[in-house]
A and B are shown apart, each in its own frame.
Chain A
Amino acid sequence: MEARAPVRGPNDVTPPAVTSLRRRAVNILMFSGTAVCAVATVSALFFILGYLLIQGGSSLSLSFFTNLPAPVGESGGGMANAMIGSAKLLVLAALIGVPLGFMAGLYVSEFASPISAFAVRYATDLLNGVPSIVIGIFAYTIVVLPMKHFSTLAGGIALGIMMVPVTVRGTEEFLRAVPGSLREASLALGAAQWMTIVRVVVPAASRGILTAIMLGLARVAGETAPLLFTALNNRYWSPGWNEPSASLPVMIFTYAIAPYEDWHRQAWAAALVLLGVVLTANVAARLLVRRGAVSTT
């Protein structure tokens, strides 16, 4: 401690050894505090994943993927209709949310004045913050009430609305990341602005935009609340788009609150499948980004 002569000011009354001890204590405290929180964050995911594997893994079987839910009291059965239902809902959500969000993002990035860009961006953020249950009620009001029945269509519209903000912001950010020099090169060759956007800017940002869309899809794949008012649920197949439809999140909800032990196991299995799909989409999106969100030099 005393190897070096400490430099001390005239008002420095604390002995150096004490200062050093306190400093080191605070240092260790801060480090361990942040590290514990970081570990807790990471383990939350692995805890959920592990718990789902233990609880749901045993109930996973081929029939779970191919059969309809079994009637109450009968064991076995599957959730094939919920998986197909979720897939249909996501397709519909993408068909609605992606073109809308992509074009709006294109507008904000390439055409909007600073003021309207700010307005669209702000509105998008607000829409992103609207609770999903409110979006469900909104879709209920504009689709379910006029049609007088629940439907896949209504559910897809609700999820599509939820996808819009993510797609807008993702598209905008990745388009902005395309260097201005590429735009200039295209314009200097006598390409019109829209030609430059279609043939140079969007292709250069396509990978990033695709990633944003996948993350958006992964997010709405697990939404339950908007579906309770729209697609509702169905114990059977739901052909076409006009009938109520089963979906994985709603099925998990229904089965988890039911009083049957067998249903609980099935809910765990469904949760495992859903999380698997979402995680796969996320990892795939990250891999896409790592290969270069914006292809430049």
Chain B
Amino acid sequence: MSPRACSYAGARCRRPDVAPVDSKISVRHLSLFYGEKQALRNISIDMAANQVTALIGPSGCGKSTFLRTLNRMNDIIPKVRIMGEVKLDGQNIYEPNVDVVALRRRIGMVFQRSNPFPKSIFDNVAYGIRVNRLAASRGDLAHRVEQSLRRAALWDEVKDRLRDSALALSGGQQQRLCIARALAVEPDLLLMDEPASALDPIATQRIEELIYELKREYTIVIVTHNMQQAARVSDVTAFFWLGELVEVGRTDTLFTNPREKLTDDYVTGRFG
């Protein structure tokens, strides 16, 4: 396949090397290898600020791998090679002088399975604030924890038991706690790797409502294998298949009138 570079505004497809001015993330010719196996093939995509971009595709298509290139979480896996560039606010995050720890502070991440630390609810949210020394005082710390829990729509449920173990929360609450924990370090980009796939429908709905709320303040990239979810929460959808980015476009267009036959087959449920 020839290198593709598409943004959701179709006209930009013809000039893949010029990033739109308003794009928060601009990826160019990104390839990733696990040892000899190529997991991402020449991905180019732009993502705008304050929008939700959904990454869809069948299992093993590279969507999670791609998400993890955006905060360099793949760095901790041995034998990974990455080529191409990922620009965040115009800065290529794969340049050698980039401080990965500082980069990850700017980017919040929520994982598929909620992974609260075996600490109290308060300490979970406070962790990132403490590690990055963001709070000026104890009062400030408590204030920031409260703000984060409020933004994650969890405050009212946990305000009376902040000292209890986070592991005592329900699955949906744990996932919102993980979102609160990610928001506490004040990132401007939020990556979500199938955040609701392990949750029941009601908890899923709460997470989706939350995503809708959060996009006013954050740029969000969400991986999901649930196409209805992508259709509900996202502004832009990118369809991955076998490590390639097949198509990216406005979510309503991509689901109703995709350009590619492959996309059409996938979103109408003919495979995957």
Contact = CB atoms under 8 A, between A and B. Distances in A.
Q: Do A and B come from one complex?
A: yes
Contacts of A240: none
Contacts of B132: 189-191
Interface stretch (B103-111, B138-146, B248-256): B103-111
B223 interface: no
Contacts of A189: 104-105, 108, 127-128, 131-132, 181-182, 185
Contact of A204 (B106, B117, B181): B117
Nearest to A191: B131
B12 interface: no
A296 B73 contact: no
A190 B128 contact: yes
Contact of A181 (B101, B106, B107, B111): B111
A189 B174 CA distance: 16
A296 B178 CA distance: 15
Contacts of A188: 71, 73, 104, 107-109, 111, 182
B201 interface: no
Nearest to A180: B76
Contacts of B131: 186, 189-191, 195, 199
Nearest to B113: A181
A295 interface: yes
A179 B115 contact: yes
B136 interface: no
B101 A185 contact: no
Nearest to A294: B118
B11 interface: no
A75 interface: no
A199 B111 contact: no
A194 to B, nearest CB: 11
Nearest to B115: A181
A179 B174 CA distance: 16
A182 interface: yes
Interface in A46-93: none
A105 to B, nearest CB: 20
Interface in A85-125: none
A179 B167 CA distance: 14
Interface string A140-182: 0000000000000000000000000000000000000001011
Contact of B117 (A182, A187, A192, A195): A182
B21 interface: no
Interface residues of B, number: 28
Interface in B8-46: none
Interface in B65-94: 71, 73, 76
A186 B123 CA distance: 12
Contacts of A191: 101, 127-128, 131-132
B185 A190 contact: yes
Contact of A297 (B108, B109, B167): B167
B35 to A, nearest CB: 14
A190 to B, nearest CB: 3
Contacts of A186: 117, 127, 131
Given A189-B128, A190-B131, A191-B131, A184 B115 contact: yes
A199 B131 CA distance: 9
B73 A185 contact: no
A185 B166 CA distance: 14
B111 to A, nearest CB: 6
A32 B104 CA distance: 62
B1 interface: no
Contacts of A256: none
B102 interface: yes
Contact of B101 (A179, A184, A190, A204): A190
B210 to A, nearest CB: 18
A273 B76 CA distance: 50
Contacts of B101: 190-192
Contacts of A184: 73, 76, 109, 111, 115
Interface string A22-64: 0000000000000000000000000000000000000000000
Most chain-B Cβ atoms within 10 A of its Cβ — which of A179, A185, A297?
A: A185
Interface of B: 71, 73, 76, 101-102, 104-109, 111, 113, 115-119, 127-128, 131-132, 167, 174, 178, 181-182, 185
19 contacts: A181-B115, A182-B117, A183-B76, A184-B73, A184-B76, A184-B109, A185-B111, A185-B117, A185-B178, A188-B71, A188-B108, A189-B104, A189-B105, A189-B127, A190-B104, A191-B127, A204-B118, A295-B167, A297-B167
Interface of A: 179, 181-192, 195, 199-200, 203-204, 295-297
- By Cβ-Cβ distance, the 7 closest A-B pairs, closest first, are A190-B105, A295-B118, A189-B128, A188-B109, A181-B115, A191-B131, A185-B115
Given A188-B108, A189-B131, A192-B101, 13 more contacts: A181-B111, A181-B113, A184-B73, A184-B111, A185-B111, A185-B115, A188-B109, A188-B182, A189-B105, A189-B127, A189-B181, A190-B105, A297-B116
